[in-house]
């Protein structure tokens, strides 16, 4: 299996080469040269596998340069700290089942991919004898998941950018309380898109990137996307076993489009998914795109701070991978679209908009602060479950796209404890933290505040990077 760039430049790469490279040298993203396919017999043969075993099978279709025994060891190690079933499914009423993706060390779905990424990055670097300086941006959960997966690793340093004052107190504490020498937290005076733009700017500076061995763990990294494909197969195998239905729909709260892109890849591979329903918050650029075919990111000043902060993203990096497929893998059209976006602030990707729903199976919707409060209340009243505000956005939109006889899954994004303020507002209850969490919240925080300035970031990395 080889990987090419969405923008057509560079030589094809292996899986390990692509994950270390991060952003492609031409500014594009790595995508499979051909999508692997899974037939019905293979799918049924996977039904009784454990999650690590299934992960080795699915990832083995992408990472063909890694011996299967090595891959199986890495997936076993990646999910060793999770509960036995790793990803539990639980019904919450209205024909909706939550896919529990928040059982990992940082209580967010990002752990599902990050724990594997930590294993496979270390594996690839040991094979080559190299080091990697990871440069990433987070709106909340990516940063803590990456840092907890990579802390203490000798060959890796992490430089994680976050928007100053735009994360929850719990999210900040999970990141900034770490004092490992290889973890560097940087709070940028701006919004998430400013952080993401800085990452792309430095990754696009090839001389600086290679001199300082920069890599990525954001969902622009191929390993993140492929590792997330696994839980779509896992959830389908369990939901269809319980319901007897061969087809289901999945709703995904989405900010940077990586989580739902993994579902799109699973669907392309042959998994029987009827609808992929994208849920946004008030920063509903992606909802507008899937309703109209027009992609119109907002500028930083127009990106709202909301009570589902991990989705406070205007310009979704992973949309480029979907645009590449939408444009029938014509890299020149991708390049032209981004040039049009830079020139006028938008582009019309799909003049024939129904293609998005009829050909690709997408639907979408928007949730507001009032919606998520009411959804948290209604789910708690009906099932006793507590859900976080991002998952609430997903449930609200899922309810609008239910179809008779078609099970609906909603991907859980985080534990409610990470967003205690919103739970208090919705339900009037105080969540009780165990002692180790209280210690984390009270611990000294280690973070460098920095302006939205690429030169200042370059200087900081130059002074602190592994070489």
pLDDT digits (tens, 9 = 90+) for 383-403: 999 999 999 999 999 999 999
Percent of the chain with pLDDT over 70: 99
State yes or no: is 110 an active-site residue: yes
pLDDT value for 245: 67
Q: Find the DSSP H helices in 80-221.
A: 110-128, 141-150, 169-176, 192-204, 206-211
Q: For the segment 347-384, what is each residue's pLDDT rounded down to a tens digit?
A: 998 877 788 988 899 999 999 999 999 999 999 999 99
Domain ranges of the chain: 89-107+226-427
- Whether the pLDDT of residue 10 is over 90: the answer is no
Q: Residue 243: pLDDT above 80?
A: no
> Which pLDDT band holds residue 140 (cuts at 50, 70, 90)?
confident
What was the pLDDT predicted at 242?
66
pLDDT tens-digit readout, 50-99: 999 999 999 999 999 999 999 999 999 999 989 999 999 999 999 999 99
The gap between the terminal CA atoms of the chain, to the nearest Å, is 30
Give the pair of three-digit tokens for residue 360.
């690709």
Catalytic residue (one of 110, 209, 267, 418): 110
Q: How confident is the model at residue 244 (pLDDT cuts 50, 70, 90)?
A: low
pLDDT over 90 for what percent of the chain? Answer: 88
List, for residues 149-189, the tens digit of each pLDDT value. Answer: 999 999 999 999 999 999 988 999 999 999 999 999 999 99
* pLDDT greater than 90 at residue 437: no
**pLDDT score at 216:** 86
CATH topology classification for 89-107+226-427: Rossmann fold (3.40.50)
Q: Estimate the share of the chain in helix, then strand, then coil, as percent rounded to the nearest 5.
A: 50, 15, 35
pLDDT at 220 over 90: no
- Structure confidence at residue 29 as a pLDDT band (50, 70, 90): very high
Burial of 384 (0-12, 13-18, 19+ CB in 10 A): exposed
Question: ∠ CA(268), CA(270), CA(275), 5° rounding?
Answer: 70
Q: Which pLDDT does position 426 carry in this prediction?
A: 98
pTM of the model: 0.93
Q: What average pLDDT does range 238-245 have in this prediction? A: 77
Distance (Å, whole) CA 223 – CA 228 = 8
Q: How far apart are CA 327 and CA 335, in angstroms?
A: 11
Strands 294-295 and 347-348: antiparallel
Calculate the average pLDDT of the chain. 94
Asked if the model's pLDDT at residue 454 lies above 80, the reply is yes
What is the signed CA dihedral for 197, 200, 202, 205, rounded to 10 degrees? -130
Q: What is the rounded distance in angstroms from the CA atom of residue 403 to the CA atom of residue 22?
A: 39
Q: What is the pLDDT of residues 295-333, one digit of tens each?
A: 999 998 899 999 999 999 999 989 999 999 999 999 999
Is pLDDT above 90 for 434?
no
């Amino acid at each position: 299996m080889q990987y090419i760039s969405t923008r057509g430049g560079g030589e094809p790469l292996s899986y390990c080469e692509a994950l270390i490279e991060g952003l492609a040298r031409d500014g594009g993203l790595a995508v499979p040269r051909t999508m692997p396919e899974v037939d019905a017999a293979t799918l049924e043969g996977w039904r009784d596998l454990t999650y690590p075993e299934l992960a080795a099978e699915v990832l083995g279709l992408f990472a063909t340069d890694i011996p299967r025994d090595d891959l199986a060891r890495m997936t076993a190690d990646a999910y060793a700290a999770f509960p036995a079933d790793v990803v539990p499914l639980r019904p919450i009423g209205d024909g909706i089942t939550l896919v529990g993706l928040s059982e990992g060390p940082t209580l967010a779905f990002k752990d599902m991919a990050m724990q594997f990424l930590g294993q496979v990055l270390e594996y690839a670097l040991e094979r080559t004898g190299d080091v990697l300086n990871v440069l990433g941006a987070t709106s909340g959960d990516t940063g803590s998941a990456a840092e907890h997966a990579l802390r203490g690793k000798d060959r890796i340093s992490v430089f994680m950018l976050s928007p100053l004052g735009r994360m929850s107190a719990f999210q900040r504490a999970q990141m900034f309380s770490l004092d490992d020498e290889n973890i560097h937290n940087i709070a940028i005076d701006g919004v998430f898109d400013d952080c993401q733009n800085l990452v792309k700017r430095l990754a696009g500076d090839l001389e600086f990137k290679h001199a300082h061995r920069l890599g990525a763990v954001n969902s622009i990294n191929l390993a993140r996307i492929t590792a997330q494909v696994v839980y779509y197969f896992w959830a389908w195998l369990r939901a269809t076993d319980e319901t007897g239905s061969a087809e289901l729909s999945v709703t995904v709260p989405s900010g940077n489009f990586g989580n739902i892109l993994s579902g799109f890849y699973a669907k392309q591979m042959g998994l029987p998914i009827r609808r992929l329903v994208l849920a946004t918050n008030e920063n509903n650029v992606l909802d507008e795109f899937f309703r109209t075919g027009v992609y119109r990111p907002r500028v930083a000043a127009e990106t709202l701070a909301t009570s589902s902060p991990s989705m406070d993203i205007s310009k979704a990096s992973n949309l480029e991978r979907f645009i590449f497929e939408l444009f029938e893998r014509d890299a020149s059209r991708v390049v032209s679209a981004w040039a049009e976006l830079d020139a006028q602030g938008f582009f019309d990707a799909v003049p024939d908009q129904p293609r998005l729903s009829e050909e690709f199976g997408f639907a979408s919707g928007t949730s507001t602060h009032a919606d998520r409060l009411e959804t948290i209340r209604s789910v708690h009243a009906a099932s006793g479950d507590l859900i976080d505000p991002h998952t609430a956005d997903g449930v609200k939109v899922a309810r609008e796209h239910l179809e008779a006889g078609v099970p609906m899954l909603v991907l859980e994004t985080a534990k409610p404890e990470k967003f205690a303020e919103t739970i208090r507002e919705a339900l009037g209850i105080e969540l009780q933290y165990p002692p180790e969490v209280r210690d984390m919240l009270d611990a000294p925080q280690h973070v460098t505040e920095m302006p939205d300035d690429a030169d200042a970031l370059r200087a900081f990395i130059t002074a602190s990077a592994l070489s």
